């Protein structure tokens, strides 16, 4: 645990209060050693996953502008070479992704190309489910890969929250665990403890809540009571931190985030990271529910351009915000979508459901650049590019090498991690 969090808890509770807790020191101060899956040294690294629902068109995100096959297959949707943000002689970012191009140059954005899984499904629900559960073709799987990660990593005596979903839709399957309850956070304001109005002032009312939980219960040998006392005292300290974060949220750098919902969600994540609550995993989304906003079977151009701009500018605002507070080295962001699109456009200025697509990584500890080759545009599967990197290798990378969890326990088998991180 970082010293700032420890210090905060001390000041917010008062040193005297802490001393009077005696053996009942809050769990976050003396975290139990039984959190089995966590490598102690991995400490405070943070993963932010961005779900892009609908099937993002990888080819118009990372554009093979020099490829004739691309140009031939995309008579109305192709991006003109002079407008893309060139990375090298072959590939460039979509014209609207100026910010991604900058992050890439700065080494704060990396790309894993050609990611997918065997026998890809072209069905939104099924394929999204496979990515969320990390169990392709096992339709009965009821837990998500991050839910399982949390189940493995936490111990039931520690009431801290290792993962949250920050977003406006129904909580995605990815964070469903068997035992862990992963909260949904829509905005910081909605998660602040409202004091009960009345003669006792708000702060006094809240102080009394803490005091009532904290006062000793002599002669009690009920282990559940001790657990609840500890957890309640810690929870109120967390509540105070959230309040603090919500108070500063309106003034603090709001102007530097673009006016998109996904940017607001990233800002919330940044505030939560700054509040230093020990949350290791944040799940966010762009594209919404149902088939999802990235599903463009007709007149794709305008809608897709807008979404890529939102993604690019929002991620950049988030990265810059964290970099300014020297927090970026602790954070890794990762995007995914359930599939790519067909290489050939469909006659309605749209594209069909394809297969492999690139994933984007952002953060302060990336090797940067491209991982893997750009998949061939003529050797196709479902009309889309063939994958060469199983998405579970990317998951294994972030679980093992970034979070310090045991990827085998989460994924059920061993996947070779990729060499994309500076850790």
- Name the residue nearer to another protein (CB basis): 113 or 229: 229
Q: Indicate whether 142 belongs to the interface with another protein (CB under 8 A).
A: yes
At 120, list the tokens. Answer: 């890809």
For residue 169, the minimal CB distance to another protein (Å) is: 14
One DSSP character per residue, 26-70 reads -TTTS--TT-TT--GGGTT-EEEEEEETT---GGGTEE-TT-HHH
- Rg, C-alpha atoms of the chain: 23
Q: Indicate whether 184 belongs to the interface with another protein (CB under 8 A).
A: yes
Enter the DSSP assignment of 388. S
For residue 148, the minimal CB distance to another protein (Å) is: 11
How far is it, in rounded angstroms, from Cα 137 to Cα 111?
26
* Selection from 333, 335, 336, 337 nearest residue 318 by Cα: 333
For residue 90, the minimal CB distance to another protein (Å) is: 43
Q: Which of residues 143-182 bind another protein (CB under 8 A)?
A: 143, 156-157, 159-161, 164, 176-181
How far is it, in rounded angstroms, from Cα 260 to Cα 250?
15
Binding mask 261-290 for another protein (x = CB under 8 A): ----------------x-------------
For residue 182, the minimal CB distance to another protein (Å) is: 8
For residue 213, the minimal CB distance to another protein (Å) is: 6
How far is it, in rounded angstroms, from Cα 116 to Cα 338?
9
CB contact set of 361 (below 8 Å; sequence gap of 6+): 109, 110, 111, 112, 332, 333, 334, 335, 420
Q: Indicate whether 314 belongs to the interface with another protein (CB under 8 A).
A: no
For residue 393, the minimal CB distance to another protein (Å) is: 26
For residue 331, the minimal CB distance to another protein (Å) is: 21
3-state secondary structure of 51: strand
Q: Which of residues 194-253 bind another protein (CB under 8 A)?
A: 194-200, 205, 208-209, 211-213, 215-218, 222-225, 227-229, 231-232, 234-236, 238-239, 242
Q: How many alpha carbons lie under 13 Å from residue 303 in its C-beta half-sphere? A: 17
For residue 190, the minimal CB distance to another protein (Å) is: 9
CA dihedral angle for residue 68, residue 70, residue 75, residue 76, rounded to 10 degrees:
-140
Q: Indicate whether 34 belongs to the interface with another protein (CB under 8 A).
A: no
Please work out the total of residues on this chain that contact another protein, with binding judged by CB under 8 A.
53
How far is it, in rounded angstroms, from Cα 386 to Cα 376?
8
- Name the residue nearer to another protein (CB basis): 196 or 423: 196
One DSSP character per residue, 358-398 reads EEEEEESSB--EEESPPPPSSSEETTEEPPSEEHHHHHHII
- Name the residue nearer to another protein (CB basis): 205 or 253: 205
3-state secondary structure of 366: strand
Give the count of beta carbons closer than 10 Å to the beta carbon of residue 9: 22
- Name the residue nearer to another protein (CB basis): 150 or 343: 150
For residue 97, the minimal CB distance to another protein (Å) is: 35
- Name the residue nearer to another protein (CB basis): 139 or 289: 139
- Name the residue nearer to another protein (CB basis): 229 or 397: 229
How far is it, in rounded angstroms, from Cα 27 to Cα 31?
5
- Name the residue nearer to another protein (CB basis): 178 or 373: 178
How far is it, in rounded angstroms, from Cα 243 to Cα 408?
38
Q: Indicate whether 128 belongs to the interface with another protein (CB under 8 A).
A: no
- In the complex, which residues of this chain contact another protein (CB under 8 A)? 139-140, 142-143, 156-157, 159-161, 164, 176-181, 183-184, 191, 193-200, 205, 208-209, 211-213, 215-218, 222-225, 227-229, 231-232, 234-236, 238-239, 242, 277
């Amino acid at each position: 645990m970082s010293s700032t969090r420890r210090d905060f808890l001390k000041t917010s509770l008062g040193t005297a209060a802490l001393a009077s807790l005696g053996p009942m020191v809050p769990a976050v101060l003396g975290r139990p050693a039984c959190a089995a899956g966590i490598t102690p040294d991995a400490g405070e690294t943070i993963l932010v996953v961005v779900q892009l629902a609908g099937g993002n068109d990888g080819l118009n995100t990372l554009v093979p502008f020099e490829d004739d096959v691309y140009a031939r297959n995309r008579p109305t949707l192709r991006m003109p070479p002079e407008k893309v943000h060139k990375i090298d002689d072959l590939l460039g970012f979509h014209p609207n992704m100026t910010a991604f191009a900058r992050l890439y140059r700065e080494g704060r954005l990396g790309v894993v190309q050609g990611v997918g899984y065997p026998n890809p499904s072209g069905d939104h629900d099924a394929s999204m489910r496979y990515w969320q559960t990390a169990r392709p073709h096992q339709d009965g799987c009821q837990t998500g890969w991050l839910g399982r990660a949390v189940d493995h990593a936490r111990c039931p005596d520690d009431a801290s929250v290792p993962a949250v979903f920050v977003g406006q839709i129904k909580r995605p399957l990815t964070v469903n665990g068997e035992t862990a309850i992963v909260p949904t956070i829509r905005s910081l304001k909605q998660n602040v403890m409202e004091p009960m109005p009345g003669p006792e002032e708000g702060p006094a009312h809240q102080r009394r809540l803490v005091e009532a939980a904290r006062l000793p219960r002599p002669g009690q040998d009920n282990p559940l009571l001790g657990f609840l006392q500890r957890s309640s005292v810690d929870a109120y300290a967390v509540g105070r931190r959230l309040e603090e974060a919500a108070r500063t949220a309106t003034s603090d750098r709001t102007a530097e985030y673009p006016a998109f919902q996904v940017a607001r969600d990233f800002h919330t994540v940044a505030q939560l990271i700054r509040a230093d609550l020990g949350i290791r995993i944040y799940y966010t989304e762009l594209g919404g529910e149902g088939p999802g906003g990235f599903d463009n079977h007709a007149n794709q151009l305008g809608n897709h351009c807008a979404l890529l701009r939102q993604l690019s500018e929002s991620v950049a605002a988030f990265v810059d915000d964290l970099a300014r507070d020297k927090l970026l080295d602790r954070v890794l962001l990762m995007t995914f979508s359930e599939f790519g699109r067909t290489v050939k456009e469909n006659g309605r200025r749209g594209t069909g459901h394809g297969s492999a697509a690139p994933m984007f990584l952002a953060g302060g500890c990336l090797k940067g650049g491209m991982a893997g080759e750009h998949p061939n545009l003529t050797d196709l599967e479902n009309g889309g590019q063939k994958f060469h990197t199983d998405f579970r290798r990317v998951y294994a990378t972030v679980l093992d090498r970034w979070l310090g969890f045991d990827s085998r326990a989460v994924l059920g088998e061993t996947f070779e991690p990729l060499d994309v991180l500076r850790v």
